[in-house]
């Protein structure tokens, strides 16, 4: 088989990044049927192979993390924060190399890959501050001579299972917080993006060593769903934080619950934006194109449904179509490219099937949906196969079955509405509940959308698209998105256990609620 002509340049980029990150390739690479192929969606070609962990390997990592936890929980939280500060410094120093790995493995365009690396740095800064703010409460006791308080303690080993489309940012959200909270971590990254995981794991181990701490505080296990499953039943894993499809969450949640473990679920989204009659259409246009076509439609927060008022739909949609026609699709490493490849053949087939179903349900494809012309140097049907598609806009007659499902590809369904209540009902008519937006200059409409009977999603934006959240807020969604919250605000509480303590400093023993047991 002949190799794709750009494969050697991708290998060179990989070698440079691995050298800069000081990754000991001998420790990670492996051959044989059980090894894990590292492929790049840019060409579909294989870059190298890594050793994978079996159930025994995962159990050994959990045991090591559990032993490390017994000491780590005693380290004062600000001293734990010092490790995360050092991690942030290393991430900053190696930002470009990490972004190169994200592009190679996940296919993100360079600016988005750099943004993902920046997100790790940002959450480290947040967590360092948090390490001095793990506040509890003092509560007024009803009994004389009694003190009532609430404190937060480390939870244990946190199992982090992550998805391919945010190969490192989601790990950082979980890990930076878990570490300052006094937990140790076992990370099972997506089998599609193991190299970025090896790189981040290496940097964190370095940060632990540089600060005189036990490197076993963080463990990495590589493999497919089987490696993730090995974390579900182990009672030493106090919390399983799982990011991925709703299908995966359906398997994870009941198994962890069966042993009364905790799970934090960040699952699929099917996000909508409402465009009201008063909207600034120039702003809406820009917000919609980035949210719907950016990352080739492979964000959990990707805009998948556009609900436009009937008075502006005929003006907005042709402008969107024309913007889509100008999108440059191709090698994500090339300047000016805005849409990179889909992750693999399965993603392409999923998109083709959804478009077929949409047309069957009365939809009309206005633009896109084609396998894109071969980007320069990337043979579309060459060895390994890469999948570049033109983002699609489909005008739908209403809310149909295909509109209710998440297809992890760039398809934007357009629906028209007459009354705001109808638009809100459409926004909420799907099983997922992650992100939502309204474009409006009418404060009544904006506030109605954000109110208790407005959007039912975990994220609701005004005059911003559905994607691109900041780390300072709590991130997550309702319904089939799983209900978890990660990153900012008080998400840290998911990584700790709460203890309510009552101290009697009197010589009496009064009982609560006036009970007399003398």
Residues with catalytic function: 266
Size of the site for ligand NAD (CB under 6 A): 30
How far, in Å, CA of 90 to CA of 381, rounded? 39
Question: How far is the C-alpha of 166 from the C-alpha of 190, rounded, in Å?
Answer: 9
Contact set for ligand NAD, span 293-322 (CB under 6 A): 300
User: Three-state secondary structure along 438-465?
Assistant: EECCCHHHHHHHHCCCCCCCCEEEECCC
Q: Interacting stretch for ligand NAD, rule CB under 6 A, among 57-65, 238-246, 393-401, 460-468?
A: 238-246
Closer to ligand NAD by Cβ: residue 162 or 440: 162
Please select the residue that binds ligand NAD; options are 20, 251, 370, 422, rule is CB under 6 A: 251
Q: List the one residue from 44, 81, 202, 269 that touches ligand NAD (CB under 6 A).
A: 269
Query: Closer CB to ligand NAD, residue 373 or residue 431?
Result: 431
User: H helices within 73-232, ranges in order?
Assistant: 77-93, 95-106, 110-130, 169-180, 194-210, 225-232
Q: Which of 228, 330, 391, 483 binds ligand NAD (CB under 6 A)?
A: 228
Regarding 430 and contact with ligand NAD (CB under 6 A), the answer is no
Q: Can you name the residues that pair with 265 across neighbouring β-strands?
A: 242
Residues sharing a CB contact under 8 Å with residue 64, sequence separation 6 or more, in sequence order: 216, 219
Q: Which of 188, 192, 185 is nearest to 165 (CA)?
A: 192
Q: How many CA atoms lie within 13 A of 75 on its CB side?
A: 24
Q: Min. distance of Cβ 88 from ligand NAD in angstroms?
A: 22
**Residue 324 near ligand NAD by CB under 6 A:** no
Q: Quick one: 6 or 272, whose CB is closer to ligand NAD?
A: 272
| Binding of residue 115 to ligand NAD (CB under 6 A) | no
Among 75, 267, 275, 329, binds ligand NAD (CB under 6 A): 267
Residue 249 or 384: the one with the smaller Cβ distance to ligand NAD is 249
At closest approach, how far in Å is the CB of 255 from ligand NAD? Answer: 8
Contact between 329 and ligand NAD by CB under 6 A: the answer reads no
53 scored as a contact of ligand NAD (CB under 6 A): no
Instruction: Tell me if 213 contacts ligand NAD by CB under 6 A.
Output: no
Contacts of 255 (CB under 8 A, 6+ apart): 229, 232, 233
User: x-or-dash pattern for ligand NAD, window 339-378, by CB under 6 A?
Assistant: ----------------------------------------
What's the rounded Cα separation, in Å, for the pair 80 and 337? 41
Query: Which residues, 6+ apart, have CB-to-CB distance to 172 below 8 Å?
Result: 91, 119, 120, 123, 124, 200
Q: Which of 388, 408, 439, 492 binds ligand NAD (CB under 6 A)?
A: 408
Structure tokens at 117: 């690396």
Per CB under 6 A, 268 contacts ligand NAD: yes
Q: How far is CA 183 from CA 83, 92, 108, 176, 494, in A?
A: 13, 24, 31, 10, 11
Residue 518 CA to residue 508 CA, distance in Å, equals 12
3-state secondary structure 36-91: EEEECCCCCCEEEEECCCCHHHHHHHHHHHHHHHHHHCCCCHHHHHHHHHHHHHHH
Residue among 388 and 408 whose Cβ is closer to ligand NAD:
408
Q: Is 461 an interacting residue with respect to ligand NAD (CB under 6 A)?
A: no
Task: Give the span between the Cα atoms of 121 and 471, in whole angstroms.
Answer: 10
Binding range to ligand NAD, per CB under 6 A, among 64-72, 99-107, 246-254, 379-387: 246-254
The neighbouring-strand residues paired with 365 are: 394
Q: Which of 190, 216, 436, 487 binds ligand NAD (CB under 6 A)?
A: 190
Between 77 and 197, whose beta carbon lies closer to ligand NAD?
Answer: 197
Nearest residue (CB) to ligand NAD, 94 versus 479: 479
> In this structure, are strands 237-243 and 157-161 parallel, antiparallel, or unpaired?
parallel
Nearest residue to 124 via CA among 102, 149, 92 = 92
Phi-psi region of 31 (alpha: psi -120 to 50; beta: other; left: phi over 0): beta
Does residue number 225 form part of the binding site for ligand NAD (CB under 6 A)? yes
Q: What is the DSSP letter of 511?
A: P
The yes or no reply on residue 89 touching ligand NAD (CB under 6 A) is: no
Angle of CA points 63, 76, 199, to nearest 5°: 55
Mark 149-188 with x for binding to ligand NAD (rule: CB under 6 A) and - for no binding: ------------xxxxxx---x-----------------x
- Near ligand NAD by CB under 6 A: residue from 61, 481, 487, 491: 481
By CB under 6 A, name the binding residues for ligand NAD: 161-166, 170, 188, 190-191, 224-225, 228-229, 243-245, 248, 251-252, 266-269, 300, 406, 408, 434, 477, 481
């Amino acid at each position: 088989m002949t190799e794709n002509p750009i494969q050697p340049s991708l290998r060179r980029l990989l070698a440079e990044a691995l050298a800069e990150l000081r990754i000991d390739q001998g420790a990670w690479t492996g051959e044989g049927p059980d090894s894990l192929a590292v492929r790049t969606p840019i060409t579909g070609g294989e870059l190298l192979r890594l050793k994978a962990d079996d159930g025994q390997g995962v159990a050994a990592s959990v045991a090591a993390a559990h032993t490390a936890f017994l000491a780590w929980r005693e380290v004062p939280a600000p001293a734990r924060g010092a490790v995360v500060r050092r991690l942030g410094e290393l991430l900053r120093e190696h930002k470009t190399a990490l972004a190169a790995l994200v592009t190679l493995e996940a296919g993100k365009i360079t600016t988005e890959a750099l943004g993902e690396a920046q997100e790790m740095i940002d959450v480290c800064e947040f967590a360092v501050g948090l390490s001095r703010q793990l506040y509890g409460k003092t509560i007024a006791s009803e009994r004389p001579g009694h003190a009532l308080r609430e404190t937060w303690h480390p939870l244990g080993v946190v199992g982090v299972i992550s998805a391919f489309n945010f190969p490192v940012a989601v790990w950082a959200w979980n890990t930076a917080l878990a570490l300052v909270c006094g937990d140790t971590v076992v990370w099972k990254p997506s089998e599609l993006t193991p190299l970025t995981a090896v790189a981040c794991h290496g940097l964190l181990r370095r940060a632990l060593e540089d600060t005189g701490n036990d490197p076993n505080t963080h463990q990495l296990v590589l493999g497919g769903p089987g490696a993730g499953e090995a974390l579900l039943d182990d009672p030493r894993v106090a919390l399983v934080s799982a990011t991925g499809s709703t299908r995966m969450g359906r398997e994870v949640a009941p198994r962890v619950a069966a042993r009364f473990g905790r799970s934090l679920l960040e699952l699929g989204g099917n996000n909508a934006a409402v465009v009201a009659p008063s909207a600034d259409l120039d702003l809406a246009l820009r917000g919609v194109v980035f949210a719907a076509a950016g990352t080739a439609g492979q964000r959990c927060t990707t805009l998948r449904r556009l609900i436009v008022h009937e008075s502006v739909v005929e003006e907005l949609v042709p402008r969107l179509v024309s913007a889509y026609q100008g999108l440059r699709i191709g090698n994500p490493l090339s300047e000016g490219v805005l849409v990179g490849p889909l992750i693999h053949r399965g993603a392409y087939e999923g998109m083709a099937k959804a478009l077929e179903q949409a047309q069957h349900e009365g939809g009309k494809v206005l633009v896109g949906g084609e396998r894109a012309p071969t980007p320069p140097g990337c043979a579309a049907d060459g060895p390994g196969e890469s999948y570049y598609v033109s983002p699609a806009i489909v005008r739908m007659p209403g809310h149909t079955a295909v509109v209710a499902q998440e297809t992890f590809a760039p398809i934007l369904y357009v629906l028209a509405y007459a009354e705001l209540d109808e638009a809100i009902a459409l926004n909420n008519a799907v099983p997922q509940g992650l992100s939502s937006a309204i474009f409006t200059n009418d404060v009544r409409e904006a506030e109605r959308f954000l109110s208790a009977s407005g959007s039912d999603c975990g994220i609701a934006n005004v005059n911003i698209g559905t994607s691109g959240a900041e780390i300072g807020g709590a991130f997550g969604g309702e319904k089939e998105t799983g209900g978890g919250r990660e990153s900012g605000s008080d998400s840290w509480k998911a990584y700790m256990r709460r203890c309510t303590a009552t101290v009697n400093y009197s010589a009496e023993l009064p009982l609560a609620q006036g009970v007399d047991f003398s």
